[in-house]
Amino acid sequence: MGNFINIGNNNFKEARADEYVDKSMLIAAINKTLGTKRKMTCVTRCRRFGKSMAADMLCAYYDKSCDSRELFRGLEIEKDPSFEKHLNKYSVIFVSLTTFTSKFDHDPEIVKKMEQALMSDIHADFPDVEKLPQDDLMDLLSRIALAKDEKFFMIIDEWDAIIREFKDSEKVMDEYVKFLRRLFKDPITSRVFVGAYITGILPIKKYNTQSALNNFREYTMIQPGKLASYFGFTKPEVEALGRKYGVDPEELEQWYDGYRIGTEPSMFNPNSVMTAIDNGVCANYWSSTGAYDNVARYIQMNFEGLKEDIVRMIAGEECTVNYVRFNNDLKEIKSRDDVLTILIHLGYLSYNPDTRKCYIPNREVREEMESAVLATKWKELISAINSSEALLRAVLNRDEASVAAGVEKVHQDVVSIQKYNDEDNLSQVVYLAFYSAISDYIIHREYQSGKGFADLAFIPRKHGDAPALLIELKYNKSVTTALDQIRERNYPDKIREYASNIILVGINYDPHTKTHTCKIEPLRH
């Protein structure tokens, strides 16, 4: 057992000793590719979505130095016809790139030192195979494959760590890509590797619009293909965990759901769900990494329309994105589409393939995006977020003048006046003005109730004394018309299931005077 070859199954053993959500059928999908032209697989997903867990599982399954049969007892893969055929049959080379980026931080010789470390470890496992002075890693593996009739399965975890950490060093980037091409695109690759699995955050870097490793089948946050169900936790899986450990499934959904990954309409952040289960409480468990400073840098880039799109998404809307032109290179960010695509791969946005739009998926990520905004120089937006709590108090206190003034300030400072010409734009302003209410309310836009759709419905997250809010918006009409519509169309009917105390709010914008008015009344039974 070495550091990088045939490392055993201890990592997966630890995972199985804890609460484990069965994602073992990923193995069946990989088994189908072994020994074929499709044997190279790259699966990229955002941080904390189980990349390393999947790599550890594959290592335990393929590694010939151990017996992993008991570890897979009771898992779905055990029933698959391919299970016995490949179980513990290959020499596995397992490389976690963060091992080297941590040890050789800012070292321009990192690729050479990594290759030397791998060769030393592999040769120690096959000491009777000659290692020549001019050998590179592929030479050594080829000689072992021929001498021992050996096939290797290679796993690279965090494959893009060098690309992320050395993005400003063209020399290191080129050397790393050449290293990968030598391993996976050489004519002798087929006799050395039965398969390969690399995982990270970024898809494979492009050169002149072509992938640097175009023989890899790629599965990403945007195009997960047949592997979509393995990218995170599904809603049934999370509901089962919530019931088992007494954590409210609805709370788990509000905090960690919202990712649309391929054909999977409801995907949860696995790490955050498991941390919430362990702690017994839902909270923002993403923030411990402090990555919002990088997000702040991206969203401040001076690309036309980017700031407006961020504002719209914070206000609960979706934004169109074209991800095709992004070169998967953090140094080559040339447009607002590139920025939005990066944020999708990082998990700060989710992508809806049906609408081809991106959006902020859930409460946890929304708090991270808020932290990123607070780290920017967007004073007006920061002011709107910071003032939103006072605006909610003004509604609860029936302070109509303060509500009208608060909405007007967001309109003037944050949202473009030129685009402010209908009730949809007014809805965006009001949502942003009441941003802090997300903590205590589930906010629905176009909420179906009674004989139509209420513009905004604020439903308390937990049953109790907190009132529900029904907000009707009007453009160039009157606040009286707004409140009359709420009553005439019976919008409160469905809301009564969640709160007995309901406050009606009418807001109108007059384009002639360019002012907002507000009327607030409690619903009288």
Structure confidence by residue, pLDDT tens digits, 437-453: 887 888 887 766 656 66
Report which DSSP code applies to 228.
Answer: G
Check whether residue 261 and residue 394 sit in a common domain.
Answer: no
Residue 405 lies in a domain: yes
Count of structural domains within the chain: 4
Residue 1 lies in a domain: no
* Cα gap 144→291, rounded to integer Å: 42
* Cα gap 50→270, rounded to integer Å: 7
Q: Which residue in 438, 415, 412 sits closest to 360, CA to CA?
A: 438
DSSP reduced 3-state for 468: strand
Per the document, the length of the chain is: 525
Q: Which residue in 492, 18, 39 sits closest to 245, CA to CA?
A: 18
Q: What is the CATH number of the domain that holds 194?
A: 3.40.50
Check whether residue 109 and residue 148 sit in a common domain.
Answer: yes
Check whether residue 442 and residue 504 sit in a common domain.
Answer: yes
Q: Which residue in 466, 298, 186, 479 sits closest to 455, CA to CA?
A: 479
Q: Is-contact 470 505, C-beta < 8 A?
A: yes
CB neighbours (10 Å) of residue 151? 18
Cα 169 to Cα 106, 109, 202, 317, 371, distances in angstroms: 9, 11, 17, 37, 29
Which H or E element spans position 502?
strand 502-510
State the virtual CA torsion across 491, 492, 494, 497 in degrees, nearest 10. 170
Check whether residue 458 and residue 500 sit in a common domain.
Answer: yes
Residue 162 lies in a domain: yes
Cα 104 to Cα 99, 108, 308, distances in angstroms: 9, 8, 40
Whole-model pTM: value is 0.87
pLDDT in tens, 405-444: 998 888 888 765 445 565 667 777 888 888 888 878 888 8
**Which pLDDT belongs to residue 417?**
47
Q: Which residue in 329, 31, 83 sits closest to 197, CA to CA?
A: 31
* Cα gap 151→144, rounded to integer Å: 9
Q: What is the CATH number of the domain that holds 351?
A: 1.10.10
Q: Which residue in 473, 412, 457 sits closest to 316, CA to CA?
A: 457
Check whether residue 425 and residue 481 sit in a common domain.
Answer: yes
Q: Is-contact 205 327, C-beta < 8 A?
A: yes
Q: Give the pLDDT of the chain (525 residues) as one tens digit per residue.
A: 678 999 999 999 999 999 999 999 999 999 999 999 999 999 999 888 889 999 999 999 999 999 999 999 999 999 999 999 999 999 999 999 999 999 999 899 999 999 999 999 999 999 999 999 999 999 999 999 999 999 999 999 999 999 888 888 889 988 998 999 999 988 888 889 999 999 999 888 765 445 668 889 999 999 999 999 999 999 999 999 999 999 999 899 989 999 999 999 999 999 999 999 999 999 999 865 545 567 888 888 878 888 888 888 888 889 999 999 888 877 788 899 999 999 999 999 999 999 999 999 999 998 888 888 888 878 888 888 888 889 999 999 999 999 999 988 888 887 654 455 656 677 778 888 888 888 788 888 776 665 666 788 888 877 557 899 989 888 889 999 999 988 888 878 778 877 888 999 999 988 888 899 999 999 876
Phi-psi region of 235 (alpha: psi -120 to 50; beta: other; left: phi over 0): alpha
The last residue of one of the domains, among 326, 345, 374, is: 374
Query: Domain range for residue 170?
Result: 10-219
Q: What is the CATH number of the domain that holds 512?
A: 3.40.1350
As a whole number of Å, the end-to-end CA separation of the chain is 74
Residue 333 lies in a domain: yes
**Which pLDDT belongs to residue 207?**
54
Check whether residue 327 and residue 467 sit in a common domain.
Answer: no
**Which pLDDT belongs to residue 173?**
87
Enumerate residues 6+ apart whose C-beta is below 8 A from 188: 138, 142
DSSP reduced 3-state for 14: helix
Q: Which two tokens stand for residue 444?
A: 């629905």
Q: Which two tokens stand for residue 223?
A: 């195009």
* Cα gap 35→495, rounded to integer Å: 58
Check whether residue 281 and residue 312 sit in a common domain.
Answer: no
Check whether residue 193 and residue 59 sit in a common domain.
Answer: yes
Residue 399 lies in a domain: yes
Residue 243 lies in a domain: yes
**Which pLDDT belongs to residue 342?**
92
Check whether residue 400 and residue 477 sit in a common domain.
Answer: yes
Dihedral sign of CA atoms 337, 339, 341, 344 in order: negative
The last residue of one of the domains, among 189, 219, 249, is: 219
* Cα gap 336→22, rounded to integer Å: 38
What residues pair up with 197 in beta bridges, in sequence order?
Answer: 41, 155
Residue 309 lies in a domain: yes
The last residue of one of the domains, among 323, 350, 374, is: 374
Which H or E element spans position 51?
helix 51-62
**Which pLDDT belongs to residue 214?**
84
State the virtual CA torsion across 76, 77, 80, 81 in degrees, nearest 10. -160
Report which DSSP code applies to 173.
Answer: H
H runs (alpha helix) in 65-155: 83-86, 97-103, 110-125, 137-148
* Cα gap 328→348, rounded to integer Å: 16
Phi, psi dihedrals of residue 103, rounded to the nearest 5°: -75, -40
> Residue 19 corresponds to which amino acid?
E
Check whether residue 157 and residue 195 sit in a common domain.
Answer: yes
Check whether residue 189 and residue 53 sit in a common domain.
Answer: yes
- Count CA atoms within 13 Å of residue 43 on its CB side: 28
* Cα gap 483→507, rounded to integer Å: 9
Check whether residue 131 and residue 155 sit in a common domain.
Answer: yes
Q: Is-contact 115 64, C-beta < 8 A?
A: no
What residues pair up with 199 in beta bridges, in sequence order?
Answer: 43, 157
Residue 143 lies in a domain: yes
